[in-house]
Structure 1
Amino acid sequence: MTIQATLFSFVNRWECDENDHLNVQFYFSRFEEADRQFRLISGLNETLVGARRVRHVRFHKELRTGDLITVQSSIAFDGPHMLTVVHEMREGSSGDLAATALDGYEPNANSAKTLRQRFKEFQSAMIAEASPKGIQTSPNGARSTLAGLLNKGAKICYRGTVLPRDIGVDGKADDQYALSCCTDGVAHVWQRTPMTRAYLVKNGYGRVAVEMKLAWVTPLKTGDAVVVATGFTAVTPRTFSMRHHLFESRTSRLVATLDVVALTMDLKTRVAVGMPEEAHQSINKMLID
């Protein structure tokens, strides 16, 4: 055995966003379920490898209403982490690669040989399409404070509460919840640039993420109030990057960070378009890194 079939799913209309494609929070929920199945099949657990440090996702092809979803998972010891679980999401009818996720673990260096032997039946080579491109491999912003971020120019874009429906099987808020907070707030981040909602509507453009990296710092439980503070971290002629910082509101405890590479897409041609020069200049002046 090598790569394992870990998910068979489907894109529901209610999971699609204003761009008429699967919202990123549901890509993460599919990867989360695929990971649970892979852990069951392979015997991978935190006792052996520690907690997951990051989930690094790249989006390769849109998934739209009615598309079939399959995920295959394996362990790649040639990945960017000491132990990397690779999830390959494909459109089930065409086989086209839709998204990839890298789950990064850093077990004790002395255990590498033992882990290779233990999981030899679940290994495969790292695929190039999954390699990080616009975001560094290691977690970022883990020492950030809410006050410090606001002083640097980050802005609050979301406030909310963890509800029972947001809790995963481990009793903690799951990846989909963290993504939903950020995706609900991100329109307010774009609004800080010249690429406002009015600009996007006028030109027939949509907001699109092409790469994301989620890193949990501390858990959330039912009833916790949260706040998201977001700042820009990089800009190129075609893309810009931002980092969402999810805090527990009562104590300002950092819970998670989500790095994002974003761009604009023409909703008719479904291809990326460059940002106006004034947007490039505006974002460059607001960088927090």
Structure 2
Amino acid sequence: MDDNTDPAAFAVPTLQTRVESWECDFNDHWNARYYSRSFQMAAETVAALAGGENPGMAAIALRVIRFHRELRAGAAVEIRSLRVADGPHAGAAVHLLSSAGALSATAFDLPGTGASRLPAIRSGLLATALPRGDILAKLAATSRPGDHLTMSGPVRPDDLDHRGALLYETIIRRVGHGMYDRLALAGLTPEFTRDTGIGRMAAQSSVRPVHRPCPPGTVLRVRSRISQVGAKIFSTWHCLEAADGTALAHIAHDMLAVDLERRRAVTPPAFLQDAVG
């Protein structure tokens, strides 16, 4: 394979689905929750390729999703999966989510459960899928006294997978509420977006689940803070917890401030820098 090879041409199809209208957010784009659900379904398919038991959420210890292109209602979606052949990420599973032949998002999974059965592609061809930045350092951050707390309500049976673990999409949805609450408190509100045309879009999301029991009825909360603001990207840190403080997942989001009319990244609003904690 040369440097112009499309990795998707050698990857194994692991999910076909479509974007439903009720799965789109207030920007009319496919919500991150459903990208996440699709990647998890592809990962569980890979884990069970040899006919063994589906491990559910236990298939992943770390996932990094990178977003490249928005999807809207009606879009056909395909995920194709492969294994990183070399370098520091050798053995990891990579999932490529596309629509109409154009890449929309990627997921990088460790430890790569079941990935030994996937085609191996050298890392030099996977620049759009490999994590950017020091992900482990971001996720290793711990709580601080000034963290914002959002109460997320109790766990329901449909929040859990077939083995009783919190669904990946549940983690993303609950943390999304916490992030929205924290950013709104800082000033990034629907009113600000309406008045200025400046909104936000996800660039990269990193999740490290903590595999411990979370039975129905468990009350959840989200601990959040704005961790860094750069020239174009701002970052948030979160911990999804039981109400007693037991950690259930650690999450780091990298977001772009975007001029929604020109569809271009812009400098994040100054009030976000003021809110870094």
- Label 1:106 to 1:73 Cα distance change in 2 as closer, same or farther (>3 A): closer
Alignment match, 2:181: 188
Q: Do 1:228 and 1:246's aligned partners in 2 also have CA atoms closer than 8 Å?
A: yes
Instruction: Report the secondary structure of 1:66's partner residue.
Output: coil
- State the AA in 2 paired with 1:99: A
Task: String of CA shifts for 1:221-248, please: whole Å, max 9, x gaps.
Answer: 3221111010122110211101111111
Alignment match, 2:78: 70
Matches of 1:62 and 1:23, distance apart in 2: 9
1:228 aligns with 2:222: yes
Query: In the alignment, which of 5, 18, 21 is matched to residue 13 of structure 1?
Result: 21
1:122 aligns with 2:119: yes
Query: In the alignment, which of 40, 43, 65 is matched to residue 32 of structure 1?
Result: 40
RMSD of aligned Cα (Å): 2.7
Q: Do 1:142 and 1:254's aligned partners in 2 also have CA atoms closer than 8 Å?
A: no
Identical positions, percent: 27
Alignment match, 2:6: none
Query: In the alignment, which of 78, 101, 107 is matched to residue 101 of structure 1?
Result: 107
Matches of 1:240 and 1:273, distance apart in 2: 11
1:237 aligns with 2:234: no
1:215 aligns with 2:208: yes
Q: Could you tell me how far 1:191 is from its partner in structure 2? A: 1.8
Q: Could you tell me how far 1:162 is from its partner in structure 2? A: 1.0
Instruction: Report the secondary structure of 2:224's partner residue.
Output: strand
Gaps of 5+ in 2: 1-8
- Label 1:229 to 1:173 Cα distance change in 2 as closer, same or farther (>3 A): same
Instruction: Report the secondary structure of 2:158's partner residue.
Output: helix
Q: Could you tell me how far 1:38 is from its partner in structure 2? A: 1.6
Instruction: Report the secondary structure of 2:254's partner residue.
Output: strand
**TM-score normalised to the size of structure 2?**
0.85
**TM-score normalised to the size of structure 1?**
0.82
Number of equivalenced pairs: 264
Alignment match, 1:41: 49
1:203 aligns with 2:201: no
Gaps of 5+ in 1: 108-114
Q: Do 1:83 and 1:105's aligned partners in 2 also have CA atoms closer than 8 Å?
A: yes
Q: Do 2:178 and 2:223's aligned partners in 1 also have CA atoms closer than 8 Å?
A: no
Query: In the alignment, which of 26, 30, 53 is matched to residue 22 of structure 1?
Result: 30
